[in-house]
Structure 1
Amino acid sequence: MLPSRRDYRDLRRTWKGDLLAGLTVGVVALPLALAFGVSSGVGAEAGLVTAIVAGFVAAVFGGSNVQVSGPTGAMVVVLAPIVVQYGVAAVAVVSLIAGAMVIAAGLARIGRVVTYIPWPVIEGFTLGIAVIIAAQQVPAALGVPVEVEPHALLGAVDAVLAAQWPVVGWTLGIVAIVAVLMLLLPRIHRLMPASLIAIVIVTVLATLLDAPVAVIGELPAQLPAPGLPSLAGIDPLALIGPAAAVAALAAIESLLSARVAASLAPTGRVDADRELLGQGLASVASGLFGGMPATGAIARTAVNVRSGGRTRLSAIVHALVLLVVVLVASGLVAGIPLAALAGVLLITATRMVGPATVRAILRSTRSDALIFIGTAIVTVAFDLITAVLIGIAAAALVALRDLARSSRVTREPIAGIAQAGDERIAVVRLDGSLFFGAAERVLDEIAAIDDVSVVIIRLSQLRSLDATGARVIADIIDALERRGVTAIVKGVQPEHRDLIERVGVTHRLRHPAHLIASLDDAVEHARSHVRREREAGVGGAD
Structure 2
Amino acid sequence: MKPLSKNNFSISGLYTNIMAALVVSFVALSLGASFGLLSGRGALSGMIAAGVIAFVTSLFGGTRIQCSGPTAPMSAVAIAVLVSAEQLSASQLDGMTINQLFNFTVILSGLMLGLAALFRAGNLIKWIPNSVISGFMSGIAILIWIGQIKQLFVVDDLWTFDKTALLNSGIALLTLAIILLFPKIRNKTFQRILAFFPATLMAIIIGTILVHLFNIPIETINIDSNILSVSIGEWVQSQIPTHISFELLLFAAPLAFQLALLCYLDTLMTALVIDKISGEDTQRNRELVAQGIANAAAALLGGLPGAQATIRSVLILKEGATSRFAGILVGAFVIVEIFVFLDWISLIPKAVFIGVLFKVGYDVLDRVVIRELWKIMLGRKALLSKKDIPLIVLTILVTLFVDLSVAAIGATILFYIIQKLTNNSLPDLNKLLVKH
**TM-score, length-scaled by structure 2:** 0.82
Contact 1:257 / 1:296 at 8 angstroms: preserved in 2?
A: yes
Gaps of 5+ in 2: 87-97, 186-190, 377-381, 427-436
Contact 1:111 / 1:273 at 8 angstroms: preserved in 2?
A: yes
Choose between structure 1 and 2: higher strand proportion: 1
- Where does residue 420 of structure 2 map in the other structure? 400
Seq. identity, %: 27
Q: Which structure 2 residues correspond to residues 231-310 of structure 1 after superposition, within 5 A?
A: 231=241, 235-266=248-279, 268-310=280-322
Aligned mate of 2:108, from 97, 104, 108? 97
Aligned mate of 1:331, from 329, 343, 346? 343
- Where does residue 214 of structure 1 map in the other structure? 219
Structure with the larger RCO, 1 or 2 (CA within 8 Å, 6+ apart): 2
- Where does residue 22 of structure 1 map in the other structure? 21
- Where does residue 232 of structure 2 map in the other structure? 225
Give how far 1:55 is off. Answer: 1.3
Q: 3-state DSSP class of the match of 2:423?
A: helix
Give how far 1:215 is off. Answer: 1.2
Q: Deviations over 1:198-231 (max 9, x none)?
A: 1111111111222221111235384972525343
Return closer, same or farther for 1:400/1:69 CA change in 2, 3 Å cut-off: same
Return closer, same or farther for 1:53/1:405 CA change in 2, 3 Å cut-off: closer
Q: 3-state DSSP class of the match of 1:210?
A: coil
- Where does residue 129 of structure 1 map in the other structure? 140
- Where does residue 510 of structure 1 map in the other structure? none
Give how far 1:68 is off. Answer: 1.1
Aligned mate of 2:361, from 346, 349, 353? 349
Which residue identity is paired with 1:248? L
Q: Which structure 2 residues correspond to residues 114-263 of structure 1 after superposition, within 5 A?
A: 114-142=125-153, 158=157, 161-188=158-185, 189=191, 191=195, 192-220=197-225, 222=228, 225=232, 227-228=236-237, 229-231=239-241, 235-263=248-276
Gaps of 5+ in 1: 1-6, 148-157, 407-542
CA-atom RMSD in angstroms = 2.4
Return closer, same or farther for 1:214/1:67 CA change in 2, 3 Å cut-off: same
Give how far 1:359 is off. Answer: 2.7
Contact 1:78 / 1:383 at 8 angstroms: preserved in 2?
A: no
Give how far 1:235 is off. Answer: 2.3
Which residue identity is paired with 1:10? N
Give how far 1:310 is off. Answer: 2.6
Which residue identity is paired with 1:197? M
Contact 1:175 / 1:342 at 8 angstroms: preserved in 2?
A: yes
Q: Deviations over 1:213-263 (max 9, x none)?
A: 111123538497252534379824311110011111111111111111111
Q: Which structure 2 residues correspond to residues 6-21 of structure 1 after superposition, within 5 A?
A: 9-12=7-10, 14-21=13-20
Q: 3-state DSSP class of the match of 2:364?
A: coil
Return closer, same or farther for 1:236/1:291 CA change in 2, 3 Å cut-off: farther
Which residue identity is paired with 1:15? L
Return closer, same or farther for 1:327/1:181 CA change in 2, 3 Å cut-off: same
- Where does residue 390 of structure 1 map in the other structure? 410
Which residue identity is paired with 1:307? E
Q: Deviations over 1:11-66 (max 9, x none)?
A: 44743332222122111122210011111111111101111111111111110012
**TM-score, length-scaled by structure 1:** 0.67
Quote the Cα distance in structure 1 between the aligned partners of 2:255 and 2:175.
Answer: 34
Return closer, same or farther for 1:245/1:356 CA change in 2, 3 Å cut-off: closer
Contact 1:93 / 1:236 at 8 angstroms: preserved in 2?
A: no
Contact 2:68 / 2:308 at 8 angstroms: preserved in 1?
A: yes
Quote the Cα distance in structure 2 between the aligned partners of 1:309 and 1:269.
Answer: 17
Quote the Cα distance in structure 1 between the aligned partners of 2:16 and 2:272.
Answer: 21
Choose between structure 1 and 2: higher helix proportion: 2
- Where does residue 124 of structure 2 map in the other structure? 113
Q: Which structure 2 residues correspond to residues 494-509 of structure 1 after superposition, within 5 A?
A: none
Contact 1:140 / 1:338 at 8 angstroms: preserved in 2?
A: no
Contact 1:224 / 1:290 at 8 angstroms: preserved in 2?
A: no
Contact 2:75 / 2:304 at 8 angstroms: preserved in 1?
A: no
Larger radius of gyration: 1
Tell me the number of residue pairs that the alignment of Structure 1 and Structure 2 aligns: 385
Give how far 1:329 is off. Answer: 0.8
- Where does residue 67 of structure 1 map in the other structure? 66
